[in-house]
Structures are given as C-alpha cells and as structure tokens.
Amino acid sequence: MDMMSVYQEGAYERLCRWVQAECKKLGDNDNPEVSDLLKMAICCLKERPVLFKYCAEEIANMRHHALFRRFISALTRGGPGGLPRPIEVHAHDPLRYVGDMLGWLHQALASERELVLVLLDTDANSDTDSIVRHFSKSSESDHTKFEPEITFVLDRIFEGACRPFKIRVEQVLQSQPSLIISYKLSNTLEFYSHTISDLLGRETALSNTLWLLKDAAQQTFFNILKGRGERLLRYPPLVAVDLSPPPAVREGVSLFLDLIDTYNSMMVPASVKKPDFDPVITALLDPIVQVHQSVFPLPVLSCKLSNAAWKYQW
C-alpha cells in the first residue's frame, strides 16, 4: 500500500508538470482551444489541491500576459488590418474613449471567464465530468468549492490592464471636461463598476480600479459645480431693467435641465438603485439662490426665478 501511494503521488506530480506545460501554450493565442484531455487532467488534479493551485497559477500568469498584450494592441494598433480602429484614435472624445475601453474590458472579461470555467469548473463540462468520475471523487463535490480559485485566476488575468486603463481615464479627467461630460463619465464608470464587480468580485484589482475612477470622476464633476458656484457668488450679476433672468441664471437652468435628462437616461443595473440626485440639485441651484438673496429684494428674486422657470418651462 505504501508503494502504491508513492506511485500515485508520483503520477499526480507528473500530471501536474504536463498540465503546466500545456497551460503555457494558452498564452500564445487570444482564443485558445482547450482539449478534453487537458480539461480531464486538470479535473483529476482537484484531488490534490496544492497541485491544482499550481496549475491555476500557471493559467493565470499565461492569460495575464496575453490579455495585457491584447489590451495595449487594441488601444494603440487596433484589430487586424486596422479594423476595428485603435481605441486611442478617439482620445479627443472623452465619452467614446472611456466607453470603448470599458466595453473592451467587459467583453474580454466575459471571454476569459468562459475560458477559466471550461478549465477549472468541472460542472461546466458535463461530458468531461462523466469520464473523470472514474478517476476522481472530487467531481461529486459542489463546484463552488473552487470558486476562490476561479476568482483568483480572473483577478490575476486582469491585474495588468488596470494601470494603463487607470492612467488614460485620469488623463481624461485632468483634461477639464465640461460639466455634462464629467457627469456622464461618472455615470458610465458607475454602471461598469457594478457590472464588472458582479462578474469578477468586488475585492479584485479591476473592480477596485473602476470604483476609484468612478469616485474621481464624481469628484471632478462636483469640483466643476463648486467652482461655478464660487464664481457666481464672487461676481454676482447686475439687475436687468426688465427683470429678465441674467445669463448666469439662464445658463444654470439650461445645465440643470441637461443634467436631469442625463440622470433620467443613465444606465443602472437591474439590481442597483439609482444614485441620489439631490446633491446635484443643491450644488447647482444653491449658489444661484444665495446670490440673488444677497443682491436682490425678495420680490425681484421671486420674479426673476419665475421668469427663468417660464422661459425653460420647468
């Protein structure tokens, strides 16, 4: 029996080395084909968690490098023959630029998750599972036992894409986008933060990067609002003879209506509640009310706000 155990352990170790060698080939192709033999071998290694982890790490490392190369290529060179065009061609258009990067990462995550599940999740491969049952008892266990390994592999795969993505989004935010653009960027980043966190897990590198960038975009938006309000309070408008709303009020009302339209049309996952709009209302309208209360008598203020409301059909 002792000799049989020695032979068995030796066989598992040789199997592990073979799987690692095969997994190294996974980094050579963007969409590698996985043989049934490789799937069966990985499944058998679940009997030895340490060896299974070694193989999972090899898969993660190979796909990590492959995805990083693909992302940089998509940004700078585009697809085969230049189609689709490089994402950075649209760097002058903040919404499309950031949206295209997020869309690429989301699509890549779906592809990589499918590949990892094919390799590591026995329950995702019913045909292979029926064969493996002759060799392994682990196939009868709940597949959620190996969910941490799946999350670890996906986290490692996308870890390399975080920095180039983060740098480019921060450059967009530092380019002083308009108020509406910064608000739309914040909403877009929030949508993908929820979506990718649901697929990848909240405590992962890509999810953390997305939430940090969402907060940064939101802060950029409110900084623009704050600066606008401070300028209005520092240089209050003059009273018009006909009591018509001054340009600052008309602009504020126009921005307010645009923000309402953007808020109403924003994408939100079905399981997530829309963010509160009250802070936006307060940040935009409070300075207008304050400056008019300090400069104009109450009847004049009431008349001016009524004129503005009528003009824009609140």
Q: What integer pLDDT is reported at residue 48 of this predicted model?
A: 86
Rounded CA-CA distance 301/296 in Å is 6
How high is the pLDDT of residue 85?
Answer: 92
State the amino acid at position 235 in one-letter form.
Y
Query: 121-135, 189-203, 228-242, 289-303: which has the minimum mean pLDDT?
Result: 121-135
pLDDT of the residue at 107: 95
Q: How confident is the model at residue 5 (pLDDT cuts 50, 70, 90)?
A: confident
Give mean pLDDT, residues 282-307.
68
Neighbours of 3 (CB within 10 A): 7
User: What's the confidence (pLDDT) of residue 93?
Assistant: 96
Average pLDDT over residues 38-64: 89
**What is the model's pLDDT at position 312?**
45
Structure tokens at 33: 């084909």
**Arithmetic mean of pLDDT over the chain:** 83
Check pLDDT > 90 for residue 291.
Answer: no
- The length of the chain is 314
Is 70 exceeded by the pLDDT of residue 209?
yes
Looking at mean pLDDT, say which of 1-15, 51-65, 185-199, 238-252 comes out highest: 185-199
Tokens found for residue 175: 């380019």
